[in-house]
Amino acid sequence: MRKNFKIFLPVFFISFLLDQISKFLVVKFLSENGSIHIFRYFSLTCVKNKGLLFGIFGNFDIALPIIMCGFFAFAGILFYILKNPKIPNFYLYALGLVEGGIAGNLADRLRIGAVIDFINFHIWPVFNLADAFIVVGVISIIFTQLRGKNASCMFQNR
């Protein structure tokens, strides 16, 4: 179990801190709905998202259910790591990213009642690093599961 946390915790803390620092800087240098054009298909755009993914249900008061689901997901991942001492390293990295993303967005919801989004590719809804960490972690787990049990062996220490 200690091995699990030697890998999981640094990934979790780094992803959480990167997310929170990036959001702090965006809020400090951009007004709400302000935007800085970086290049043709990319801008930094400060948006407060009170809804779900991509602002879905943003007009409804769903803060409490979102926060509760976030806490359940966060606790579920911790419980899984505590109860399973032989989790492959690759899954620990992926779960650390997911957990860091969940914590980053939960921190925003608890602190300001919304999530700060700022990455704008103009062909996709605005999102943040926490969202990216969650998506990368979940897709990594799904991809590994689809490839079979031995797919993650290349990521394990030998």
Q: Is residue 158 part of a domain?
A: no
Q: Total structural domains in the chain?
A: 1
What does the DSSP 8-state code read for residue 117? Answer: E
Question: 59: domain range?
Answer: 2-148
76: Cβ contacts below 8 Å, ≥ 6 apart:
none
Selected catalytic residue, list 19, 61, 108, 117: 117
**Does residue 108 carry a catalytic annotation?**
no
Q: Is residue 156 part of a domain?
A: no
Tens-digit pLDDT string for the chain (158 aa)? 688 899 999 999 999 999 999 999 999 999 888 899 999 999 999 999 887 665 555 555 667 778 889 999 999 999 999 999 899 999 999 999 999 999 999 999 999 999 999 999 999 899 999 999 999 999 999 998 898 755 545 445 44
pTM of the model: 0.86
Q: Is residue 154 part of a domain?
A: no
Q: Is residue 157 part of a domain?
A: no
